[in-house]
Structure 1
């Protein structure tokens, strides 16, 4: 009986969680992340504010969970690609990962970018989305260094510079009017072609 009761409690808890996340997602898309508060989320999800705060202490916690869920397909896509392309040069793989990342964000601009920023307060590049990208890019650049495919490069700083550029994709697309093609060409020139080791002249 205890197991059955536990299952019922867990199922109810999951229903509450889904209602909260779906309500927050809808409000964020409709009104913008900065214009939504915890009271609005609780009201739309039809849960008491006390229940909401027992699970999430602040809006940023809800944002963190939404980002993690929304980005799971990207994480799985990148992992599948890397698992299947071990023979491809690391810089080529890095560019493919960048392409996947940009395409994913473009489809969800601007709301997911705003949610990602809010998910970690004043440290937007620490959200689950950028943490995953950070690890992947560092691994690929370190592999390129080991294979001597790149000139002398500070891997950690280079990755942070790349993440900073990716972080502003919604601004570049919406406010500055850059096309995805322009963005990808620029990223390729700077972070792929610009790092390649020049062949030694014969």
Structure 2
């Protein structure tokens, strides 16, 4: 008698089954979060609501995502990869253009992305708890944009033959990114009434030399 045939294992590969369960839970969480965010907005949805909508326990949700910011980042990460791929491709194809023109286009690419993905990008910037904002140094979006901006400011400084003190490129990149954060951007757009193209033009007047 073949014991293996008479008593087949109900789970011949527990590790594979566990990975499959984890993948299914992740997709249920992301589907539930996307649905609730579209209906109510990222800021109005709690982690407990997401767990209930996904029909999982809060512990399962928090083991995968410590806060809503991490969940939003998972939802938007593919689009972020495409954004930075587009930025890299643009910079590579336009290396002969003046750094001021390349910097303007990088800012424009990010502003278009912010307009298209406003809800999720807001969630990524949020610290994951009411009233708390994620430190900028911990934001992968901030870190990558800062690297690009600081590099282009370095190029601008190298091409500028003027003497005397000039703002540090790291400092300038920080200040530019402050102007591009959610609160600053939405204030200019919604309270001051500037269109996205107007905001781009104003930023370029401040940060880029006149051509």
State the match for 2:109 in structure 1. Answer: 100
TM superposition shift of 1:113: 4.1
Query: Which moves more between the two structures, 58-67 or 92-101?
Result: 58-67
Higher relative contact order (CA 8 A, sep 6+): 1
Q: 2:159 aligns with which of 135, 147, 155?
A: 147
- 1:18-167 to structure 2, matched below 5 A, reads 18-109=27-118, 111-119=119-127, 121-123=132-134, 125-126=136-137, 127-148=139-160, 152-167=166-181
State the match for 1:175 in structure 2. Answer: 191
State the match for 2:19 in structure 1. Answer: 10
Q: 2: CA distance between counterparts of 1:61 and 1:164?
A: 21
TM superposition shift of 1:22: 3.0
TM superposition shift of 1:182: 1.0
Report the TM-score, using the length of structure 2 for normalisation: 0.78
Structure 1, unaligned runs of 5 or more: 197-202
Structure 2, unaligned runs of 5 or more: 1-10
Give the number of the structure whose alpha-carbon radius of gyration is greater.
2
Report the TM-score, using the length of structure 1 for normalisation: 0.81
Q: 2: CA distance between counterparts of 1:60 and 1:136?
A: 23
The DSSP-based 3-state class of the residue aligned with 2:167 is: coil
Call closer, same or farther: CA 1:147–1:32 in 2, change over 3 Å: same
Report how many aligned residue pairs link the two structures: 194
